Amino acid sequence: MVRVKHSVSTHKRKKRVLKKAKGQVLDRSKQYQQARRSLLHSMAYAYRDRKVKKREFRALWIVRINAACRACGITYSKFISGLTKAKIGINRKMLADLAVNDPQAFTKIVELVKAG
C-alpha cells in the first residue's frame, strides 16, 4: 500500500498562515507556531473590536451632540426627549455630523425642540 505524503498541503497551510502574519513582530511573522498563536489572538481581538467600535462611535456622537446642545442652552437628555416628542427622526450619527459641520442647522433643530 502506498503512503500519502502531506508535504504539499502542509507547506501550503503554513505558507498561508505566515502570509497572514506578515506585519507581526519578531518570531510571530517567521515561525509557524508563533504565527498561528498570534493569528488566533488577533482574529479574536478583531471580532471583539468590531463590536466595540460601534459602542465607541455612539459615545463619540453623544459627546458631540451634548457639547453642541449645551452651547445652545439645553441639556442632551432634554434635547433627545424633545426630539422624540417633536417626532423628529434623525439619528445620533446625523445629529453629531450636523453639530460639527453645520452648527446653524443644528441650532434650528434645537429651536424646534425647544418650541415643541
Residue 26's Cβ-count burial label (10 Å; 0-12, 13-18, 19+) is: exposed
Q: Which of 13, 12, 20 is nearest to 41 (CA)?
A: 20
Yes or no: say if 55 and 87 are a contact pair by the CB < 8 Å rule.
no
Residue matched to cell numbers 446642545? 69
Q: Beta strands of the chain (E only): which ranges?
A: none
Q: Three-state SS for 5?
A: coil
Residue whose C-alpha cell is 453642541: 68
Span 38-61, pLDDT tens digits: 999 999 999 999 999 999 999 999
Residue 95 grid cell: 445629529
Residues 64-113 pLDDT 10s? 999 999 999 999 999 999 999 999 999 999 999 999 999 999 999 999 99
Cell of 5: 505524503
Q: Which three cell numbers stand for residue 34?
A: 508563533
Q: Using one digit for the tens of pLDDT, what is the confidence trace for 3-42?
A: 888 999 999 999 999 999 999 999 999 999 999 999 999 9
